[in-house]
Amino acid sequence: MALENLPNDDGNSLFESRLNVEELNHAAFRIRNEIGKVIVGQERVLDHLLTALLANGHVLLEGVPGIAKTMIAKLLSRCINTGFSRIQFTPDLMPSDVLGTMVFHSGRSEFKFNKGPVFSNIILIDEVNRAPAKTQAALFEVMEERQGTIDGITHPMEKPFIVLATQNPVEHEGTYRLPEAQLDRFLFRIKLDYPTLDQEVTILQNVQERGNVLETEAVSPVISAQEIIDFQELITKVAVDHDILSYIAKIIDKTRNTSSLFLGASPRASIAVLRSAKAFAALEGRDFVIPEDVKEMVIPVLNHRVILTPEKEMEGLQPENVIRRIVDSVEVPR
């Protein structure tokens, strides 16, 4: 890496920061503090959610029922003073139920577009894998291009726009496997785990103390939509040395040349690693990316974009295992 990007022994830049990320860090602290009133643990999950928000990327939250996938998404949206919409995916859900429909007004003898629930800022899609393929396909343009085309007319989404989707990896009855093309639209797949014993005791204590107060009522907006847009613009200016770019490219290239993977990562994945590493660096208080930022982002970016070979699946390997081996085999820039 270039000398100007290297941290000193105190962890600070040897030179004055080119970008002021202090306001961003204060905003992230306020959001963490608000969500922490309800959610116990899951600090890494929240860090990754904030990273995705700053990187302007969508997130797939995966975990068994009851571990706060939906709740953490609702609380994040509650912290931001912006539009929020929740869509419960079901097997009979139609694309028009998501995008909206053209309605004929007889008095004016014209059609008017009634926007569907996807036309908001933060979209929570609950149990995204329960809708059929044609409804899943309706999200492709919305998620990738931040716009929806209905009857040949393009309707742009308002900024900020982020989709937070949940799915249960255990239950398969009545579900539809998400196609690779849609999975690739998600910046991250974040897997939520069970809380520890101590965390579960704290959860029960919090519920007892709140009484009849709803979880969402315990959280207040602490940041505006315009601040999110400004922070997203700030993230694009985070410095990345050429050696870091090469490091990302080598990791992605190795996913395409390993016998453990049937499908490697695409160039969209390398761009996703870059964008998320820049956002994570800013959350860490830096205006430049270091190799540790890349390492932190690689697994949530790649774990849903690569496919194991049948042999490795039978051995019980997870994509994360292979990704870690690949990262460990690539020389870290100095």
**300: preceding bond cis by omega (within 30 degrees):** no
The residue from 189, 213, 236 where one domain ends is: 236
Residue 203 shares a structural domain with residue 192: yes
Closest CA to 174 of 212, 129, 205: 129
Residue 36 shares a structural domain with residue 176: yes
Residue 51 shares a structural domain with residue 186: yes
Task: Give the CATH number, domain containing residue 278.
Answer: 1.10.8.80
187 pLDDT tier (thresholds 50, 70, 90):
very high
* Res 1: pLDDT: 43
Residue 60 shares a structural domain with residue 99: yes
Q: Are 281 and 238 in contact (CB under 8 A)?
A: yes
Cβ neighbours around 91 below 10 Å, total: 11
* Res 164: pLDDT: 94
Mean pLDDT value of segment 18-22 = 84
Residue 186 shares a structural domain with residue 210: yes
Structural domains counted in the chain: 2
Mean pLDDT value of segment 172-189 = 81
Which DSSP helix (H) or strand (E) runs through 320? helix 319-329
List, as one string, the DSSP characters of 70-120: HHHHHHHHHHEES-EEEEE--TT--HHHHHEEEEEETTTTEEEEEE-TTSS
The residue from 236, 265, 288 where one domain ends is: 236
Residue 293 shares a structural domain with residue 149: no
Residue 185 shares a structural domain with residue 269: no
The residue from 178, 206, 236 where one domain ends is: 236
Residue 180 shares a structural domain with residue 36: yes
Residue 186 shares a structural domain with residue 322: no
Task: Give the CATH number, domain containing residue 161.
Answer: 3.40.50.300
What is the domain extent for residue 269? 1-19+238-334
List, as one string, the DSSP characters of 125-177: EETGGGS-HHHHHHHHHHHHHSEEEETTEEEEPPSS-EEEEEE-SS--TT--P
- Above 80 in pLDDT, residue 144? yes
pLDDT in tens, 35-77: 988 888 888 999 999 999 999 999 999 988 888 888 898 999 9
Residue 211 shares a structural domain with residue 91: yes
- Above 90 in pLDDT, residue 256? yes
173 pLDDT tier (thresholds 50, 70, 90):
low
- Above 70 in pLDDT, residue 6? no
CA 195 → CA 39, 41, 70, 192, 201, distances in Å?
10, 7, 16, 9, 10
Cβ neighbours around 197 below 10 Å, total: 8
Q: Residue holding tokens 């965390």? A: 199
Residue 132 shares a structural domain with residue 211: yes
Residue 50 shares a structural domain with residue 196: yes
